[in-house]
Structure 1
Amino acid sequence: MPSACDSQRLAGIAISGRILGALFYYAPDSETVAPLLTTLTAPGWTSQWPWQDTSSLHYGEQLSLALKNGDMAALRGAHQRLFIGPDALPAPPWGSVWLDKECVLFGDSMLALRQWMRAQGIVFQQQDNEPDDHFGTLLMLAAWLAEQQQPHQVDELLAWHILPWSERFLTLFIAAADHPFYQALGELARHTLAHWRDALLIPVAGKKLYR
């Protein structure tokens, strides 16, 4: 049974992982994200964010402002450029692109993630045979494990499969975002993962990055 401190940590990961993961994974006009964007424009929504530090609150407010001051066509266009293409993505959101020597999808690091999930009894069904190591998907997986009160699995997922490459990914993602919403999203994710990292009970794996 998780301690009170662990339960609080897991609750924070569950909330933030669900929100950030969905925003990184789904299109902004999708059925999944559209209601979430409405919530993000509500007054005072940041008061519900698990971490009330200055940076998190600032970038949460920037998310709201970008939605209020922008239009959906521009947001869709930014999502297309950052996550779909057809041009080369400036910051590919899949872990093996950063961790595999050949910088390919379905690389060795993704296969290691898949093996880890199988060992944990995690059934993870992706659409259209998509790689399992999409940044947004991994955040939602962390949230799901937190909801299941599995602190050790959360720590292993973070230390072995997310944090070794997420800082580099987010740095380039923010630099290339060229849209206030995705810039703020990247910054909020970076500060949130720093909080997740601070509470880890195991060290983050040292892995070589190839991008």
Structure 2
Amino acid sequence: MQDTLQNDVIDLENLSAMAKVFGSLFYFPLTGDNNQALLTALADESQACGEPVHETAFTQWAQVVAEDGTDTLNQDFFLLFEGGEAMYAPPWGSVYLDKEEVIFGETTVAYRQFLRQNGVELDTGMREPEDQFGLMLFAVSQFIEEKHALSAIKALLSEHLFTWCYRYLELVEKHAQTNSYQQLALLATEWCLAVQELLDIQPLAKKLYR
């Protein structure tokens, strides 16, 4: 594509890899097999997919996760992202962007159309909103891996993800009962800001309802 980054291939590769890492950490429980394997790699400093600025922070964070018990981490994941009587940090964009604070809202439909226009499908095997934070990060990685135009990657971030994710991460950090999720939210916020700078994008200003 003519508007892909020609001189920053390594940066885009790192962006894709980190999007996968954060996508997994926010989509699946930290106690799940896939994230446990990832955490083991982080703790051993053997993973090479992160940007250098994040390697030490991630290694330290992996040690924090190891100190939090399995039951505590599972409880935190449930209260934050699944919820009993209340869900403290809903991970779907439409909850923040739609006035009714519903999932599968108008902004979800708009994002779904954006994905289809770019020939991207996310099949998780479940009927769930595509604008889940972790899934959107997986989409970012997919866009890069499939060598979509840089303009499309920027649009995904500036028009669909960064419009609400900072508020989401703020709620994760505020309501998390474990140091693991508190620090993960801060790491993700730092990374999102770094991506904004890397790609020179500014999120669209949209009204948030939560």
TM-score > 0.5, shorter chain as reference: yes
Give the Cα separation in 2 of the matches to 1:88 and 1:182: 18
Say if 1:36 and 1:57 are closer, same or farther in 2 by CA, change over 3 A.
closer
Quote the residue 2:136 is aligned against. 138
The amino acid that maps onto 1:25 is Y
Aligned counterparts, 1:168-187, within 5 A:
168-187=167-186
Aligned counterparts, 1:59-78, within 5 A:
59-78=57-76
**Per-residue CA shift, 1:147-190, capped at 9, x if unaligned?**
22222221111011100111111111111112111111111100
Which stretches in structure 1 are left out of the alignment for 5+ residues?
none
TM-score by length of 2: 0.90
Q: Quick check: 1:25–1:137 contact (8 Å CA) kept in 2?
A: yes
Aligned counterparts, 1:168-207, within 5 A:
168-207=167-206
Aligned counterparts, 1:38-187, within 5 A:
38-42=40-44, 44=45, 49-52=50-53, 56=54, 59-150=57-148, 151-187=150-186
Q: Quick check: 2:196–2:202 contact (8 Å CA) kept in 1?
A: no
**Per-residue CA shift, 1:6-39, capped at 9, x if unaligned?**
3123112111100010010012232322211211
Q: Quick check: 1:105–1:131 contact (8 Å CA) kept in 2?
A: yes
- TM-aligned CA deviation for residue 81 of structure 1: 1.5
Supply the RMSD in Å over aligned alpha carbons.
Answer: 1.9
Which stretches in structure 2 are left out of the alignment for 5+ residues?
none
Quote the residue 1:17 is aligned against. 19
Aligned residues: 207
**Per-residue CA shift, 1:63-115, capped at 9, x if unaligned?**
22212322222211211111112231111110000000111000111000001
- TM-aligned CA deviation for residue 48 of structure 1: 5.3
Q: Quick check: 1:18–1:139 contact (8 Å CA) kept in 2?
A: yes
Give the Cα separation in 2 of the matches to 1:121 and 1:48: 26
The amino acid that maps onto 1:193 is C
The amino acid that maps onto 1:92 is P
Give the Cα separation in 2 of the matches to 1:166 and 1:73: 27
Give the Cα separation in 2 of the matches to 1:87 and 1:188: 28
Question: Does 1 or 2 have the higher relative contact order (CA < 8 Å, sep 6+)?
Answer: 1
